[in-house]
Amino acid sequence: MSALITITILALLLLYLGLFKAKKALLPVALIGLMVALVLSLMEWDSNAAPIFSNMMLYDRFAVAFSGITIFLTILIIALSKDYFERISSNVAEYYALILFSLAGIILMVSYHNLSMLFIGIEIMSVSLYILAGIKKRDFASNEAALKYFLMGAFSTGILLFGVTLIYGASGSFDLEGIKQYILKDPTAVSPLLYTGITLLIVGLSFKVGAAPFHFWVPDVYEGSPSLISAYMSTVVKVAGFAAFLRLIMFSFAPLQDFWIPMIIGMSVLSLLIGNVTAVYQQHFKRMLAYSSISHVGYMLFAIIALNGSSDNAVFVYAAAYSVATIIAFGVLILLQGQVGNDSFDSFNGLARKNPFLALTLTIAMLSLAGIPLTAGFIGKFMMFSKALSSYHIFLVVFAALNAMIGIFYYFKVIVAMYFKEEDRKELIVPVYFKLVLGFSALVTIALGVYPDFIASLI
């Protein structure tokens, strides 16, 4: 819980640092503060945690693990922000503060024990993100992204809230434990209101994680937002959305599996199909990443389909692998956009000769996203597929494996462009912070791929 307080105070502190013109201190203070928050949250590792604040929150292992990974990913992303926000406008402190406020919302989302806390967490996160998506005020794409994200987000929050209301109507409780007890009392004779409520909740949360058929905002918003913010949205926010989703279903709705599993299977299949097939046709790297993030949601939904005690582990590993690789991809993208001004696949031509380090890290990231062995992505996919197989969803796994092959095709486009297409180009300048983050992320990707036990049985 101290992590949440630390992050909130840190955000306020950064606002005031901005007021008193201490621009140089912003980045170091943000990084140090986040590291403190990370340590504080890991210190609350406790297997028999009890709900706190009148049963509003439960900081159990699940919450610690997921708030740990979200804070860790935020550190990586903020480290990439050196000199990034300065190019957009002079209100740099506000951007950092907004990112941290949304992180505070995310901590609530992964540790709620009451549906009202889930709602508040999602709102704190989303409202900050609506602003962040539109911080390039003079850029039409950024404006479009902010508006689209806001409208879609507002609708989905409305749907989510409607679901919460119906569940309260049926069970008489906002508390996860209370809802669970209500369902367990007689799983065959629950009120029909509850079924509607569950459906609406799933729809609302799927909007937030961008699962098909609720994915329409994803490509435009990711493409239009500033790349650093897209990186934040497609990693930290997605992980948080999934954690919230999983927590809700694991805690409360597990006894009603027969009702919601067909829905989740449908969403998973659609996400895989739409994400992968559409990504093949993309000419731009950023848009390709947006569609690939939709397809990765499809894989992550496997853990919910084959729900059991280790689902949280599978999602954790997959989310970590996916996020770290995506951060590398967006890091290279930021450099490319800043210095070449274009992110089509052709602009990667010949990168390996001039920037071997960048090309190597990006290759590792692409291999990991594609799920090639010895990278973290493979372990993530392996865990997901074996979970789905253990609950006898054989056709689903075959379908997903086919989709993974399509994935290899478009991820390798980038590698082919970098290594096998010649072009005269200038060397990209890679700042030290970028070198650190990219190198570290690449190392993490390989380390997880070679020795997954390290986090695979954590929660």
Q: Which residues bind other proteins (CB under 8 A)?
A: 12, 15-16, 19, 172
Q: Report, in Å, the least distance between residue 8 CB and other proteins.
A: 9
CB 371 within 8 A of CB 445: no
- Shortest Cβ distance from residue 20 to other proteins (Å)? 8
Which CB atom, from 75 or from 104, has the smaller least distance to other proteins? 104
DSSP for 124-170, written as a single string: HHHHHHHHHHT--TT-HHHHHHHHHHHHHHHHHHHHHHHHHHHHHHH
Nearer to other proteins, 15 or 430 (CB): 15
Comparison of 158 and 169: residue with beta carbon closer to other proteins: 169
Q: Is 258 exposed, middle or buried (0-12, 13-18, 19+ CB in 10 A)?
A: exposed
C-beta closer to other proteins: residue 192 or 309: 192
21: three-class secondary structure by DSSP: coil
Residue closer to other proteins (CB basis): 15 or 147: 15
| Phi, psi dihedrals of residue 420, rounded to the nearest 5° | -115, -5
Q: How far is the CB of 16 from other proteins (least distance, A)?
A: 7
Cβ(142)–Cβ(225) below 8 Å: yes
Closest to other proteins by CB, 15 vs 88, is: 15
Which one, 55 or 391, has the nearer CB to other proteins?
55
The distance of closest approach from Cβ of residue 424 to other proteins in the complex, given in angstroms and rounded to an integer, is 47
Type of residue numbered 391: S
Structure tokens belonging to residue 325: 């690789």
Per DSSP, the residues of 181-210 read: HHHHH-GGG--HHHHHHHHHHHHHHHHHHT
The least distance separating other proteins from the CB of residue 19, rounded to whole angstroms, comes to 5
* CA distance linking residue 450 with residue 166, whole number of Å: 46
Cβ of residue 6: shortest distance to other proteins, in angstroms?
A: 15
The nearest distance, CB 2 to other proteins, in angstroms, is 15
CB of 54 to other proteins, least distance (A): 13
The dihedrals phi and psi of 50, each to the nearest 5 degrees, come to: -115, 150
Distances (CA, A) of 333 to 115, 373, 446: 37, 24, 21
Which among 297, 241, 293 is positioned nearest to 122, based on CA atoms? 241
User: CA quadruple 278, 244, 73, 19: dihedral positive or negative?
Assistant: positive
> For other proteins, which is the closer residue by CB, 12 or 32?
12
